[in-house]
Amino acid sequence: MVRAELAGERAPELVAQHTELEMREGRYTVRFDGEVVDGGTYTFAEQTKTGALTFHGKFGLNANRTIPCISQLVNGRLRICFGLDGTTPETFVTNECKARYLATYRRTP
């Protein structure tokens, strides 16, 4: 993770530097400092303007949650805006009034 913000507040760089999202063949895993903290499945709808993603938590921090998202992949950087309140975000913007988590990830080989 390169950077993140929740409800309009930027996450500490230490959090971003130690968080990794792996997405492969419909499954996702989140690691913090090498330890698995969240995981499940995801679906992706390419035909939408902003790449609609839906995460289905199976274990860890988001177990039994469904989180709709929008995504954008540009030059090896993946930006995801998570709708933590269960509604799909319309833009890549967070603010104090909405439960939005915006994260930017750098693709690794």
* Residue-level pLDDT at 49: 64
What's the pLDDT band for 101 if we cut at 50, 70, 90? very high
- The DSSP bridge partners found for residue 21 are 30
**What's the pLDDT tens digit per position in 5-63?**
998 899 999 899 999 999 999 999 999 999 999 999 999 886 666 678 999 999 999 99
The fold for domain 3-106 equals Lipocalin (2.40.128)
Structure letter (DSSP) for residue 65: -
Distance of CA 31 to the CA centre of its chain: 12
Each domain of the chain, given as residue ranges in start order, spans 3-106
Q: At 107, which helix (H) or strand (E)?
A: none
* Residue-level pLDDT at 47: 62
Structure letter (DSSP) for residue 11: P
Q: What is the mean pLDDT of residues 84-100?
A: 87
